[in-house]
Structures are given as structure tokens and as C-alpha cells.
Amino acid sequence: MTRPVIWPEPQARRKGAVLVEILAALMVSGVLAVLLISVAGLTGSEGHQPTAALKDSLALQEVMANITADYHRMLADEAALNRRAWEPGVAYAAGDEVTAANRPFGHVYRCISGGTSNPVEPAWPAAAGATVTETGGGPVWREIHSLLDELKIRLATLDGTGIQLMDGLLHQYEYGYYRLDFVDYIVFSADVEALSGPLEPDAILKVEIRSESGDRRTALFTAIY
């Protein structure tokens, strides 16, 4: 009976396999070394930049959240007063307070001289403290309050000083540390944004703030409540 012959593995083939394994290990080691050097570099002189930008962005988001929450509180406080909208043919007395009939812009007017209101709503003034007299011996009204104007003032008021600034620089405002890029009334016509007056029925207060790293936040506020 003839025994099967088992030939030994060729040495040349085994040596080639070992050489491939060594080259593969060296390549992996090289990639890991590059990654470690990159990470070490990031944790050094430049590594703080992504972290700082993230903290900057989160801080700006918190500022905008504070602004929005404060305005919601202002709206709730105003609604709780339950001021009535102006109506025609009503005998108003001094001290009565009304809003515009459709409440488009959050202004409040106080009667300073009584009388019966006209059939047509007066042309309400926007300026603080301005007055309007209804014709035919009707009541005289004075502007005493505006939600959007109040928010506009707060946004530009430096923290604890009462001083208003909008110079495009970073400041510690009442709501936090930010750059106030834009705060004004706008309207949209055919999907095109344009500046507006505060008494435009569709007027919106647009607010744009920016952080030190250039991150931006934009919000739109209306006075419907």
C-alpha cells in the first residue's frame, strides 16, 4: 500500500504572505498615526474653535428663546387686561382704553376727553403720546402703549443702563450678549419684504441678532393677541 505524499508548503509562498501582512500592518499604523496627529493638533491651537463656535451658537439661541418667551408673556399680560376694541356709536368717557378695531399692531389708546365715537374708526397715530380727535365732538384719544414698540426698545436697551444702542457692535443687552443687526417693521408684498410703518395692518417686527462668531438668528413678531 502506497502512502500519500504530503508536500511541504513552499517557503517562497509563505514568505510572500508574511510580507503582505507586514505591509498591511504598516499601512494601518500609518493611518492611525495621521489621525492621532490630527486630533492632537485640534486639541492644541485650533481645537478650541469648533467648541467655541458651538457654545457661541447655543448662547445666541438662548438669547432668542428669552426674547420670544418674554414677548409671549407680554402678549398674555395684555390679553388678560381684556381691553375692548374701538367701536362706532359708543359713548366713551375719559379714562376708557381701547385698541384698534382689528388689533393689527398692539397700540393702546386712552380717552382723554369723552364723547360718542364716529361711524368711521379714526386714523390712529403711531407715535408715543400722540393724540387724535374724532370729528363732530367725538372723543379725544392718546396713544399710551405699544407691545411691538416696547419689545423694540427692550431689544436695544443695554443691560442695567436704560441706554439704547443699535450700532452694529456686540453689547450686553437686557436679553444677553449679542449684536443687534436689525429691528424694524416690515411687510411682505407678493413674497417680497419691504420696510413698513408700525401702523400698517400687516406690519411685522423683524429682529436679527448675531453672535461674536457670526452666527445669526432671525425672528418675526406680530401684535395679534
Count Cβ atoms within 10 A of the Cβ of residue 120 and give its class: 0-12 exposed, 13-18 middle, 19 or more buried: exposed
Same domain, 69 and 173: yes
Q: Within this chain, do residues 170 and 207 fall inside the same structural domain, yes or no? A: yes
Question: In the chain, how many domains are there?
Answer: 2
Residue 111 has pLDDT above 50, yes or no: yes
Tell me whether residue 207 is in a domain: yes
Asked if residue 82 has pLDDT above 70, the reply is: yes
- Do 104 and 201 contact (CB within 8 A), yes or no? yes
- Looking at the structure, tell me whether residues 183 and 85 fall in a common domain: no
Q: How confident is the model at residue 30 (pLDDT cuts 50, 70, 90)?
A: low
Nearest to 113 by CA among 86, 88, 136, 140: 140
pLDDT of 48 > 60? The answer is no
Residue 200 lies in a domain: yes
Percent of the chain residues topping a pLDDT of 70? 74
Partner residues linked to 97 by β-bridges: 110
Comparison of pLDDT for 91 and 19, the residue scoring more: 91
Q: Which of 145, 164, 196 is the last residue of a domain?
A: 145
Higher pLDDT, 120 or 43: 120
Inter-CA distances, 111 with 83, 89, 91, 139, Å:
13, 15, 11, 7
**pLDDT interval class at 106 (50, 70, 90):** confident
User: Which residue range is the domain that position 154 belongs to?
Assistant: 53-79+148-221
Q: For the residues 182-210, what does the mean pLDDT come to?
A: 86
The reply to whether 153 and 217 lie within a common domain is yes
The residue-averaged pLDDT of 63-86 equals 88
Q: Which of 176, 149, 3, 147 is nearest to 76 (CA)?
A: 147
- Inform me whether the pLDDT recorded for 39 exceeds 50: no
Q: Please tell me whether residues 72 and 99 are part of one structural domain.
A: no
d(CA 136, CA 76): 36
Residues 153, 205, single domain; the answer is yes
Mark whether 73 and 157 lie in a shared domain. yes
The span from the first CA to the last CA of the chain, in angstroms, equals 105
Report the mean per-residue pLDDT for the chain: 80
Q: Tell whether the model's pLDDT for residue 24 goes beyond 50.
A: yes
Please report whether residue 71 resides in a domain: yes
Q: Are residues 95 and 199 in the same domain?
A: no
Q: Which of 125, 145, 165 is the last residue of a domain?
A: 145
CA distances from 26 to 14, 30, 31, 40, 214 (A): 19, 6, 9, 21, 43
What confidence score (pLDDT) does residue 42 get?
46
Say if pTM beats, i.e. exceeds, 0.75: no
Q: Are residues 105 and 183 in the same domain?
A: no
184 and 75, same structural domain?
Answer: yes
Chain segment 169-178, per-residue pLDDT in tens:
899 998 999 9
Instruction: Choose one of 145, 169, 194: the last residue of a domain.
Output: 145
